[in-house]
Structure 1
Amino acid sequence: MKSQRILRALPFIAMAAVVVADLMVGPTLVFLPLLTLGPAFASVSGGVRRTAVVGGLSLALYVPLVAYDHLLGRPQNTLTMASIVGVTGASMLASRLRTGRERELANVRLVAEAAQRVLLRPVPRGAGDVRVALSYTSAAAEAQIGGDLYEVVITPEGVRLLIGDVQGKGLEAVETAAWVLGAFREAAYDQAELLGVAERLEASLARHLSGEKFVTAILAEVHDHEISLLNCGHPAPLVLSRDGGIRLAEPPEEAAPLGLVELGSPRPKPYGIPFEDGDQILLYTDGVVEARDRQGTFYPLEERARLLRAPDPQVALDELRADLLRHVGGPVPDDAAMLLLRRNPAHRL
């Protein structure tokens, strides 16, 4: 990377600038102590050995420059040389600590990637005449997993899907996501109805969650001409019909998220919406619609849904994700997961 090359060249640029300035000005202004910039900058991007070499080069440049400036024998020379040696030693220590942290970070990334492969497995990209596209953007800068979750499974009852958002962040949210995904993968094959799947998830979370923690989620099941939805306190899916219409598939009644039903909150009720040839349905987490730009404006998902008209569903969803990141102007503040379903008999698998 260009920035990395600049950082590696910075120690030599700094020392060269000191040498040139000293040769042009002479002993009237003392630039020589600035040679300590060389090893100091070297510790930013180089290893311990490279930092030591740069420190040695600083001393090698210092001696002839002192002679050129007719400053040999002056007491301050010893102090300046001691400063170069001291700064070089401190920079070598800083370089060692930095490289150690970089190794730890690399290991953390490997663990995160392994956990992601276990929790968020690749989803099938097609089942029958339904094509599936996926996008997941984590708010964690150094880890690729968070509290959002998704799954697509092909069962005897048909294609079943789950998208959800765990309350909270960090490792505890990831652990809860693992519980939900494990329970869904098992219940999706065992239960004849979506409501039975939701009840299994509730039972699993009741053994795991404490207090008033919860998981918002949508469970879906694809049928011949419609899709059945069970909305547990989650943002409503966005429906894009083949005639160009765009609407939110709001549930007939508000329901509680998973984990709160035992507190007396209303249970979710399944409802169906048409899902014909050429129709699309976008399932997403609140990290999408709650993403704000620098002026505090929420991401206008319904206005930008036209980006999903591209011929390839994954390309369309990637374009929507890129637009979301442009709107935010940087990393998303919350995890953002999206599943796009497109019914197209021409791509029957």
Structure 2
Amino acid sequence: MISWIVLVPGISSAICGAWTTAGYGLLAVATYVLVDSAWPEQYQAGLGDFILVAVGGALATLAAAARVRRERQVVHIRDIADTTRRTVLRPLPPDWAGLEQAGVYLAADVEARVGGDFYDIQPSPHGTRVLVGDVQGKGLGAVEAAAALLGTFREAGFHEKDLATVAERLEIRMLRHRSHTVALGGADGDRFATAVLISFPFVPDDVRRAFTARLLDPLKDYDRRHRAELIPTLEAFLDCDGSWTRCATRLHLHVNTLRYRVGRIEQLTGRDLSRLEDKLDFFLALRMS
């Protein structure tokens, strides 16, 4: 009986808080006293067992308090790491600088919340610039280097017209950061980073309008005159990756009707929807319209 009474607060210390475990410890002591008094001849245990139950409850309470404190420290450390990551890798809207983007950050170390990987999208008067890179190594030194490079990219990517100049500014910043690290007595003076720079040039509004008009105006005019719904058909066809069956099911059409509409689109625009280049042009035109 004593072993079972001591086991209750012990189990509680692994899954409950300190106050709950203390309650189970007091309950175990009370249960021991009641059982010991109810059957004094059959289950008489004595002072030694009573002390064992009381000490077991007290130790279980201390273990629960230590576990709760440790869990709170872990949560606090994770919050700090998440805050650091959000500071270095700023959140980006799904539609930012004319680009649709989505990303998820997974550190190489499962327990780590931030590492040396970095990325950003920077709109500028010269177009939209994208940076994706990785700093050699891990730990706080890699995070500091990534933060330095991202800060330089956000400024140079906005002001510099030539993408090669942006890359040169990043190279100089990395060298300066390494020199600063060595001056502070750091051991990672040979740290380096690899990155990819991409530029999406700014397209003037009149060029966009001319591009979309050349592709979509014939379809819009035809839809107005015949109510043929060619534009919705084109959007669904591209969204279904050119699958006749899926597109027909989405539009609640017979496949032959869908083929007729797609053929009419190709006839009016002079494009071929079986060619990847023409599909891409239509996709861009629909996005910019």
Corresponding residue for residue 32 of structure 1: 2
Higher helix fraction (1 or 2): 2
Conserved? CA contact 2:6–2:53, under 8 Å: yes
Summarize the Cα distance change of 1:102–1:33 in structure 2 as closer, same or farther, 3 Å threshold.
Answer: same
User: Larger relative contact order (C-alpha < 8 A, sep ≥ 6)?
Assistant: 1
Q: How far 1:69 sits from its partner (Å)?
A: 7.7
Letter of the 1:125 partner, please give it: P
1:348 alignment counterpart: 288
For residue 167 of structure 1, report the CA deviation from its aligned partner.
Answer: 1.4
By how many angstroms is 1:277 displaced? 7.5
Q: 1:147 to 1:53 in 2, by over 3 A?
A: same
Confirm or deny: 8 A CA contact 2:115 2:139 kept in the other structure: yes
Deviations 1:187-217 (A, max 9, x none): 1012222221111111111122243321121
Distance 2:67 2:27 in 1: 22
Aligned residue pair count: 208
* Aligned partner (choices 145, 164, 187) of residue 195 of structure 1: 164
Q: Does 1:55 align with 2:40?
A: no
CA distance in 1, matches of 2:81, 2:135: 18
Q: Tell me the amino acid that sits aligned with residue 31 of structure 2.
A: L
Q: Structure 1 residue 127: deviation in Å?
A: 5.3
Equivalent-residue separation in structure 1 for 2:24 and 2:102 (angstroms) = 51
Question: Corresponding residue for 1:211?
Answer: 189
User: Match for residue 41 of structure 1?
Assistant: 11
What is the one-letter code of the residue matched to 2:197? Answer: L
Q: Is the 8 A contact 2:116 2:143 kept in 1?
A: yes
Distance in 2 separating the partners of 1:194 and 1:130: 18
- Letter of the aligned partner of 1:49 in structure 2? W
**Alignment match, 2:41:** 70
The residue number in structure 2 matching 1:254 is none
Matches within 5 A, 1:283-302: none
Matched letter for residue 287 of structure 2: H
Q: 1:347 to 1:83 in 2, by over 3 A?
A: farther
Distance 1:348 1:112, change over 3 A: farther
The answer (yes or no) to whether the contact 1:152–1:159 under 8 Å persists in 2 is: yes
CA contact (8 A) 1:277 1:345 kept: no
* Displacement of 1:348: 3.2
1:116 Cα deviation after fit: 2.3
Q: Comparing both structures, which one devotes a greater share of its residues to strand?
A: 1
1:174 and 1:128 map into 2 onto residues whose CA distance is 26
Q: State the alpha-carbon separation in 2 of the partners of residues 60 and 150 from structure 1.
A: 61
8 Å contact kept, 1:48–1:92: yes
Q: Please give the alpha-carbon distance, in whole angstroms, between the structure 1 residues aligned to 2:57 and 2:108.
A: 38
The runs of 5 or more residues in structure 2 that have no matched partner are 179-187, 204-240, 244-275
CA contact (8 A) 1:148 1:177 kept: yes
2:225 aligned residue: none
Q: 1:63 to 1:214 in 2, by over 3 A?
A: same
Equivalent pair of 1:129/1:348 in contact (CA under 8 Å): no
Query: CA separation in 1, counterparts of 2:25 and 2:44?
Result: 22
* Matches of 2:73 and 2:80, distance apart in 1: 11
User: In structure 1, what is the Cα distance between the partners aligned to 2:63 and 2:56?
Assistant: 10
Q: 1:45 to 1:116 in 2, by over 3 A?
A: same
Gaps of 5+ in 1: 1-30, 226-241, 245-274, 280-342
Question: Could you say what secondary structure the match of 1:133 adopts?
Answer: coil
Give matches, 1:145-184, under 5 Å. 145-184=114-153
SS of the residue corresponding to residue 137 of structure 1 reads: coil
Q: Distance in 1 between matches of 2:82 and 2:102?
A: 20
Partner of 1:305: none
Large movers: runs of 4+ above 6 Å? none
Q: Deviations over 1:73-129 (max 9, x none)?
A: 44xx32222222112111221122222222222222222232222211122433576
CA-based RMSD of the aligned residues comes to 3.0
Which deviates the most, 56-65 or 84-93?
56-65
- Cα distance in 1 for partners of 2:112, 2:153 equals 24
Is contact 1:38–1:58 with CA below 8 Å preserved after alignment?
A: yes
Residue 93 of structure 1 is matched in structure 2 by 62
CA contact 1:126–1:132 (8 Å) conserved in 2: yes
Structure 2 CA distance for aligned equivalents of residues 243 and 344 of structure 1: 16
Per the alignment, in what secondary structure is the counterpart of residue 135 of structure 1? coil
How far 1:184 sits from its partner (Å)? 0.8
Task: Give 1:126-141 correspondences, 5 Å limit.
Answer: 126=95, 130-141=99-110
* Amino acid across the alignment from 1:223: P
For the residue of structure 1 that corresponds to 2:102, the secondary structure is: strand
Structure 1 pair 127/58, CA: closer, same or farther in 2 (3 Å)? closer
- 94 and 168 in structure 1: CA distance in 2 versus 1, 3 angstrom threshold: same
Listed one character per residue, the Cα deviations across residues 27-70 of structure 1 (whole Å, up to 9, x for unaligned) are: xxxx3223211111111232222111101111222233344483
Residues 344, 69 of structure 1: alpha-carbon distance in 2 compared, 3 angstrom cutoff: farther
Instruction: Quote the sequence identity (%).
Output: 35
Distance 1:69 1:347 in 2: 86
